């Protein structure tokens, strides 16, 4: 890994601290030029370009009538960079809904014009060892030869890593409590009402399990009766639900701890995303807002899924080298 580009300055420390020698550039991808990328790759190296446009414009939470079309341009800009650089390998990740959109179809057309072998599909991070149900559209492409989607390493529910296996060993916390030796293992304080609500919640349940006096007024109205995805608890023996940039808030999804009366901590969220425990998010001795950390963790591609994609691309390179040797004979 030689360089990373992002418009969010908060990405710099985690990127450079965990990838020694890699360069970070704070930049809008729309202003990035192919010649800048070409100057970073070593001569003779296999060149990989990986990109991930923000998920929000394509998310099921987004209102397609009001979505900010300016954000859609980022996929178009990524296609432009592929065209300008002609890297050997390309990969991208986004929400499944992107698959049927005009921006994605245009991106596929650009890759085909560039003579890439392309494979794509919706993958579940749980099938690759992440203790989280996270379905994402993943694309891999190669100019070196055929490329295939990564094969699952944890194929099916009986092989998935569960919440219990992932975080059951962590110190117990009450809401508002901090773990003395882990600055990420901090439980947000709950209001008296939300404390009552989580105490009334069942593992795997929702606000529909509560006594009527605890139900929010918005959920009593017809328009809110179908919003069962908030104020929920996780289940011990299943993977966690999809982590989002708001995963540290109990009321923002099914982010209640399966047993303890609190929302999950950022340490638990990072584990559900499959980050290793020694991954550095913040400089020692320096602080970062919980909101910013939650954004970094929730927006990330789970490392376990990234590892599987990398293996698939590596196989394409190995297959190409083997084919070249056969031709040389």
* CATH label of the domain that carries residue 23: 3.40.50.150
The pLDDT assigned to 218 comes to 87
How far is residue 32 CA from its own chain's centroid?
A: 23
pLDDT of 66 strictly over 50: no
Task: Name the token pair of 261.
Answer: 């009366």
- pLDDT > 70: percent of the chain: 91
In the annotation, is 218 catalytic? Answer: no
In this structure, are 316 and 167 located in the same domain?
A: yes
Task: Name the token pair of 47.
Answer: 């060149």
Q: Is 232 among the domain residues? A: yes
Q: Is 50 among the domain residues? A: yes
Q: Is 178 among the domain residues? A: yes
Q: Which of 11, 55, 85, 247 is catalytic?
A: 55
In this structure, are 105 and 233 located in the same domain?
A: no
Q: Is 145 among the domain residues? A: no
Closest CA to 119 of 108, 135, 127: 108
Supply the range of the domain harboring residue 13: 3-115
Q: Is 137 among the domain residues? A: no
For residue 80, what is the enclosing H or E element? helix 69-85
Q: Is 10 among the domain residues? A: yes
Among 5-9, 118-122, 221-225, the minimum mean pLDDT is found in 221-225
How many domains does the chain fold into?
2
Residue 143: how many other CB atoms lie within 10 Å: 18
How many CA atoms are closer than 13 Å to the CA of 140, on its beta-carbon side?
Answer: 25
In this structure, are 182 and 48 located in the same domain?
A: no
Q: Is 72 among the domain residues? A: yes
Note whether 33 and 24 are within 8 A (CB). Answer: no
pLDDT of 49 strictly over 70: yes
Task: Name the token pair of 290.
Answer: 């919980």
CA distance 97 to 168: 33
pLDDT of 57 strictly over 60: no
The pLDDT assigned to 68 comes to 46
In this structure, are 301 and 186 located in the same domain?
A: yes
In this structure, are 42 and 183 located in the same domain?
A: no
CA distance 127 to 135: 10
CATH of residue 329's domain is 3.90.120.10
pTM of the complete model: 0.91
In this structure, are 65 and 166 located in the same domain?
A: no
Closest CA to 312 of 143, 152, 114: 152
Q: What angle do CA 181, 183, 185 make, to 5 degrees?
A: 90
- How high does pLDDT run on average in the chain? 91
Identify which has the larger pLDDT, 63 or 273.
273
Among 60-74, 167-181, 195-209, 310-324, the minimum mean pLDDT is found in 60-74
């Amino acid at each position: 890994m030689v360089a990373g580009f992002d418009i969010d300055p908060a990405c710099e420390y985690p990127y450079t601290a965990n990838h020694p020698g890699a360069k970070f550039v704070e930049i809008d991808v729309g202003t990035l030029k192919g010649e800048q990328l070409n100057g970073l790759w070593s001569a003779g190296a296999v060149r990989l370009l990986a990109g991930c446009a923000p998920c929000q414009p394509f998310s099921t939470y987004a209102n397609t009538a009001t979505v900010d079309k300016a954000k859609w341009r980022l996929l178009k800009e990524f296609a432009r960079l592929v065209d300008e650089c002609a890297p050997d390998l390309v990969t991208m990740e986004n929400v499944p809904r992107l698959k049927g959109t005009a921006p994605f179809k245009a991106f596929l057309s650009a890759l085909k014009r560039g003579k890439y072998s392309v494979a794509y599909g919706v993958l579940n991070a749980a099938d690759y060892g992440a203790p989280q149900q996270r379905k994402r559209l993943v694309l891999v492409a190669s100019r070196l030869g055929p490329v295939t989607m990564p094969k699952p390493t944890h194929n099916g529910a009986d092989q998935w890593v569960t919440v219990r296996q992932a975080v059951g060993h962590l110190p117990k916390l009450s809401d508002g409590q901090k773990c003395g030796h882990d600055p990420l293992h901090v439980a947000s304080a709950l209001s008296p009402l939300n404390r009552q609500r989580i105490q009334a919640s069942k593992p795997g349940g929702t606000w529909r399990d509560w006594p009527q006096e605890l139900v929010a007024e918005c959920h009593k109205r017809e328009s809110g009766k179908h919003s069962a995805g908030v104020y929920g608890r996780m289940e011990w023996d299943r993977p966690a639900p999809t982590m989002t940039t708001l995963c540290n808030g109990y009321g923002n999804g099914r982010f209640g701890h399966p047993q303890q009366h609190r929302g999950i901590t950022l340490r638990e969220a990072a584990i559900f995303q499959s980050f290793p425990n020694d991954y550095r998010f913040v400089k020692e001795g320096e602080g970062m807002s919980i909101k910013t950390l939650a954004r970094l963790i929730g927006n990330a591609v789970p490392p376990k899924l990234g590892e599987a994609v990398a293996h698939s691309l590596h196989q394409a390179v190995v297959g190409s080298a083997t084919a070249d040797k056969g031709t040389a004979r």
